[in-house]
């Protein structure tokens, strides 16, 4: 599991351990956190931690040696961060992924399940997003994810390495970091609201997202590890619904029982106005169905963050 100490990676690791698998975690702890792995302290030899960086090919080779399935979550995340540091996005997300794929090819890994992103669709206004729509990235992050998908497909066709891409739609839930300037919008909104602080809303707040609770993403990863007809494909992982930022604020106010102050700031470069996933392909070829809807997942996440307010 690359990025196994991160938000998504740690949840997938936890599920794999519960399912009885042995898991090797590979992380450089640039954004991953050791406290995300507290659940693994009693796992004994079922879990192994290898510290290293995707940009170090020798370290990647050590991490994947003897592995059957690689779950690739490590990345330089965030559209705004990639706008600020496009070279870093390429080095981590493209070169790093290429290192992983080539190590997998040479060391006999059966399957690589990798994290892609809904950002590959760009600002095409057509909704819902379907996998047969052509990629149209408008940020360095999105370009890096689209490039990773292309490399993965080539590795399947040319070298026979099974690859499965998961295009995540705005994942949220417990363990997500709200403190970075590049943090996702939901944990930042929740923490600010719990602390009585003003919410910064980029743009007019009508932009909408298919916010996807972490349990759904974990389930998609588990299914992708074994689904026989999924190799060489990329799949949307979302809920097939969308919620605007203004609606998110209204839900926060309902949960907290008080008004939440907000201020509007300029829209950010590289952001798209709306996203919503068509998950019919994932359902057909992987058996994926969202387990937790947005309202329930959002309520759980607010309760989780109460301890940090």
How does pLDDT run across 193-207, given as a tens digit for each residue? 999 999 999 999 999
Residue 301 belongs to a domain: no
CATH code for position 127: 3.40.50.720
Query: Cis peptide before 128, with omega less than 30 degrees from 0?
Result: yes
Residue 182's pLDDT is what? 67
Q: What percent of the chain has pLDDT over 70?
A: 99
- pLDDT tens-digit profile of 29-74? 999 999 999 999 999 999 999 999 999 999 999 999 999 999 999 9
Tell me if 105 is assigned to some domain: yes
Segment 201-217 shows an average pLDDT of 96
Contacts of range 134-139, beta carbons closer than 8 Å, 24 or more positions apart? 138/270, 138/272, 139/79, 139/82, 139/83, 139/269, 139/270
Structural domain includes residue 12: yes
In which domain, by residue range, is 133 found? 7-173+212-240+277-291
Average pLDDT estimate for 81-100: 97
Is pLDDT above 90 for 180? Answer: no
pLDDT of residue 251: 97
pLDDT at position 270, please? 78
- Count of structural domains, the chain: 1
Structural domain contains residue 286: yes
Comparing CA positions, the residue from 285, 190, 172 lying closest to residue 229 is: 285
């Amino acid at each position: 599991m690359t990025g196994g100490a991160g938000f998504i990676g740690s949840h997938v690791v936890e599920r794999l351990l519960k399912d009885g698998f042995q898991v090797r975690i590979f992380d450089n702890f640039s954004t991953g956190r050791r406290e995300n792995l507290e659940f693994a302290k009693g796992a004994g030899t079922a879990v192994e931690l290898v510290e290293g960086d995707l940009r170090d090919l020798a370290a990647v080779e050590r991490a994947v040696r003897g592995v059957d399935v690689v779950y690739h979550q490590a990345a330089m995340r965030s559209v705004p961060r990639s706008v600020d540091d496009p070279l870093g996005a390429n080095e981590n997300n493209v070169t790093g992924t290429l290192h992983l794929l080539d190590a997998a090819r040479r060391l006999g890994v059966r399957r690589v399940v990798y994290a892609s992103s809904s950002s590959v669709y760009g600002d095409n206004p057509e909704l819902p997003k379907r996998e047969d729509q052509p990629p149209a990235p408008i940020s360095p992050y999105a370009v890096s994810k689209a490039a990773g998908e292309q490399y993965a497909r080539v590795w399947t066709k040319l070298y026979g390495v099974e690859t499965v891409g998961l295009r995540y739609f705005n994942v949220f839930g417990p363990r997500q970091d709200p403190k970075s300037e590049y943090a996702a919008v939901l944990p930042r909104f929740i923490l600010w609201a719990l602390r009585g602080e003003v919410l910064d809303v980029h743009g007019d707040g009508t932009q909408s997202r298919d916010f996807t609770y972490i349990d759904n993403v974990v389930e998609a990863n588990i299914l992708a590890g074994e689904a026989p007809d999924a190799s060489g494909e990329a799949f949307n992982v979302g809920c097939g619904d969308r919620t605007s930022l203004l609606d998110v604020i209204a839900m926060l106010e309902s949960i907290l029982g008080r008004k939440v102050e907000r201020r509007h700031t300029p829209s950010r470069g590289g952001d798209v106005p709306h996203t919503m996933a068509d998950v019919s392909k994932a359902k057909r070829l992987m058996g994926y169905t969202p387990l937790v809807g947005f309202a329930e997942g959002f309520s759980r996440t607010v309760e989780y963050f109460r301890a940090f307010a």
